[in-house]
Amino acid sequence: MKHSDIFAEYIRSKDIIFKHAKGMRDIIGLEFHPYHEIFLFIGGDAEFISDSFRAPLSPRTVVIIPKESFHTFVVHGAEEDYHRYVFNFTDVPTLGKLIDEKMKSICLFPATDEMCALFEKLGENINEDAYKRELRLRAVFTEVLLEAETSAYEHAATTSSVHPVITEAIRFINTNISSIATVEDVALAVNLSPSYLSHIFARELHISPHRYILEQKLILANRKIEGGTGAVQAAAELGFGNYSGFYKMYKKMFGFPPSKAGKKETI
């Protein structure tokens, strides 16, 4: 199939989305998302960043990203060269055990020829009959999960850890997310000025500490609501003093209101 320099093509089912794209990044500003992701990097000049390590991406690298895990892809080269295949998914009937096994933590590994062929098979059949397309989507997705080498991953020599102060700040945030009110709370805990902490965050993670804290709070609020806590109570427990403001931020991040948590596809 012949493509222009920039394109995005999709196959969708109720619980799985497959995307083949070049350029056209469409999830900028969503570093924590409520669905799992399996990402095959094909080409371009890009870097993967988590809250514990960062690594330049080589062609034919697979990235496993469990839901609610902080990450970002930074494109250093031309946007139109950023080429990838992506699976986004939540709970897939009959595959829960396999998903739990494979989606435990962020990892990267080189794709085998067989793994690449699986992604390419879907990419080549984007425009086939809808019924066949969905059958192929589920079959190929299952094969990709089975082939994922998550237990064999070791950091490559080119992988580097984030700045130690970021590690310390992340640990404090994750431990105290319910009670943290401002960036100043985190800065005080790691003995830095708020401005310098913001500088380190932006340099290392390409996100501000304020936004990191906000998205973590919204993820936890969503988890609480899915678990049966009322939305107003969940917002209050996470320190959102204004429910109207919480509602708007929640809907912007998840694409649906708190009343739909756990009842609507999140991909």
> What is the rounded distance in angstroms from the CA atom of residue 22 to the CA atom of residue 123?
12
pLDDT exceeds 70 at position 267? no
> What is the rounded distance in angstroms from the CA atom of residue 47 to the CA atom of residue 72?
8
pLDDT exceeds 70 at position 158? no
- In tens, the pLDDT along 21-32 reads 998 766 555 678
pLDDT (mean) for 103-128? 91
The reply to whether 203 and 256 lie within a common domain is yes
What is residue 223's DSSP assignment? Answer: H
- In tens, the pLDDT along 165-178 reads 999 999 999 999 99
The reply to whether 40 and 88 lie within a common domain is yes
> What is the rounded distance in angstroms from the CA atom of residue 42 to the CA atom of residue 60?
5
Under DSSP, is residue 36 helix (H, G, I), strand (E, B) or coil? strand
49 has which bridge partners? Answer: 54, 72
Q: Is 205 part of any domain?
A: yes
Tell me which residue range forms the domain holding 245.
162-260
pLDDT (mean) for 84-90? 95
pLDDT (mean) for 39-45? 96
Of 97, 117, 152, the one marking the end of a domain is 152
Length of the chain: 267
- Domain of 111, CATH number, reads 2.60.120.280
